[in-house]
Structure 1
Amino acid sequence: MDVRIELLYKTPKGTETTFQSDEMKAKKALLLAEDLEKTGRAKELIFIDRHDQTWTVKELRKFLEEIKTEPHNIKVYFDGGFDIKTKKSGLGCAIYYEQNDKPFRIRKNALVDELDTNNEAEYAALHLGLQELEILGVHHMSVTFIGDSKVVINQLTDEWPCYEEELLKWIDRVEKQIKKLGITPEYEVVSRKLNREADHLASQALDEIEIMSNNEIKS
C-alpha cells in the first residue's frame, strides 16, 4: 500500500505550517513518521492512501502487522497475444508480492484456442492473473494491474466505452472475480518494453512452452 504523510509542523516559538509528502510505501512512511514524532514538532500527523482514507500512526502500524503474513504490495503484469494463423492465444502474467518481509514472484502462462482477437487475449491474460491471485489466497487487498493494452485498461476504468459483445463478457468476468476476492484494483498502462516479462511469457505459451513458478526473489 502506498500512502503520503500529512502533518502540522510547529516550531519552538509557535510558528506553524502544514507539510505533505510524496507517495511512498506504507512501511517507509511509518518509519519516517515515527522519526518525525521524536522531534516533538510534528503535530496532527496522519497518512492518506490512494483512496483518500486516513490512518493514524497506531492504525497503520496495526494494519502492517496484520497483513505481514499475507501476500501484499501486489503488482500483476499481464499480456496476451493472438496468432492469426493458428487461431491460438498465448497468455502471460507475472505477479510480484511480499509476504513475511520477503519478496516473491509468480510467473504463469497458458495456451488457449477459444479466443478470436488480440484484445480478448489481453483480457484473458488479466483474468489468468486474477485466478493466480485466488490460488495465492489474496483477498481484500489493493492490487495494481499493469499492462500495455490501452483498450483493456481504459475500458475497465470507464475511460473508453466498450461496444463489442465478447469484450463486454470479459469485462464482466474480470469484475466478478475482483468482487469475489474483495480486491481494490488500480490500473497502470505501460509501454511494451516495460511489460516485456509478461509479453515473453505470452510468446512462450504460443511456442507451447509452459511456465509456472513461484519463487522468492533473492537480492
Structure 2
Amino acid sequence: MLITIEWTYKSKNGIETIFRSDEMPPAHALAIAEDLEKTGRTSKMTFIDQHDSTWMAKELKKYLKELETEPHHVQVYFDGGFDLQTKDSGLGIAIYYEQNGKSYRLRRNAPAIGLVSNNESEYAALHLAIVELDLLGVHHQTVCFLGDSQVVINQMSGEWPAYEKELASWADRIDEKLNNLGITPEYELIPRKLNAEADRLATQALQGIDINGNIELQ
C-alpha cells in the first residue's frame, strides 16, 4: 500500500493552502507527517491510500502493527493448463509470503471444467490465487503477480485491451476482488522456465493429482 498525505498549511500572516504529497510507504508517510506537525503550521492532515480511502494517523499506525503478524511481502506465481482434447483445465498457484519474521510457501492446484481456451485457464488460475490471498488474510498492500501468459499479464496491467467477452469478464471479476481486498497489483511477465512450479501444479491438476499445502521455508 502507498499513501498520499494531504494537509492544510497556514502561513505566519494567516494565509491557508492545501498541500498534497507524492505517494510513499505508510511508515514514511507517518514519519513525514510527524515532522510537518512539529512546524505548528499544519492542520486537517489526512492519509489517502491508492483506493482513495482515507486513514487517520492512529489507524495507519494500527495497520502497520497488525501487518507484522499478517502475511506481507507477497509474491504470487500462477499458471493455467488447457487440454484441447478433453477441454479440461488445470490451475496452479504458488504464493510466497512473510509472517511473524518467517517465510512461507503456499501451493495449490485445482481442476476446472467449462473453460474454452488456455487464456481463460490462465485467468482462472489468477482468480484462484486471489481467492487464496483472501483466505490468507492478505489485504491493503501491494502484491506482485508473476505469470508467463503474455495475454493475461498485458491485459491486467492495461497494456492490451480485452476484446474477448470471456476474458473481459474474468478481468472485471479479478479487479473487483482486488479492489475489495484493498490489494494493489503489480503484474510481471516471466519466462516459462521461471514459472515451472505453477506450471507443474497445473499439469498435476489435469492428471487428477491434488496439491494443497502451506509450509515454512528454511
- Distance (whole Å) between structure 1 residues aligned to residue 28 and residue 184 of structure 2: 21
Point out where structure 2 has 5 or more consecutive residues left out of the alignment. 3-21, 33-60
Aligned to 1:34: none
TM-score (norm 1): 0.73
Aligned to 2:110: 110
4+ residue runs over 6 A deviation:
none
| Per-residue deviation, residues 97-150 of structure 1 (Å, max 9, x unmatched) | 000000001000000111010000000000000000011111111100000011
- Distance (whole Å) between structure 1 residues aligned to residue 205 and residue 95 of structure 2: 17
TM-score (norm 2): 0.73
Pairing of 1:19-38 with structure 2 (within 5 A): none
Pairing of 1:140-179 with structure 2 (within 5 A): 140-179=140-179
Is structure 2 residue 24 aligned with structure 1 residue 53? yes
Which amino acid is the alignment partner of residue 53 of structure 1? M
User: What SS does the aligned partner of 1:86 have?
Assistant: coil
Aligned to 1:33: none
User: What SS does the aligned partner of 1:130 have?
Assistant: helix
Aligned to 2:132: 132
Aligned to 2:214: 214
Judged with a 3 Å threshold, the aligned counterparts in structure 2 of structure 1 residues 120 and 65 are, in CA distance, closer, same or farther, namely same
- Distance (whole Å) between structure 2 residues aligned to residue 174 and residue 89 of structure 1: 19
Aligned to 1:100: 100
Aligned to 1:182: 182
Judged with a 3 Å threshold, the aligned counterparts in structure 2 of structure 1 residues 57 and 156 are, in CA distance, closer, same or farther, namely closer
Which amino acid is the alignment partner of residue 125 of structure 1? A
Point out where structure 1 has 5 or more consecutive residues left out of the alignment. 3-50
Which amino acid is the alignment partner of residue 75 of structure 2? K
| Per-residue deviation, residues 140-173 of structure 1 (Å, max 9, x unmatched) | 1110000001100100111111110000110011
Q: How many residues align?
A: 171
Aligned to 2:195: 195
Is structure 2 residue 176 aligned with structure 1 residue 205? no
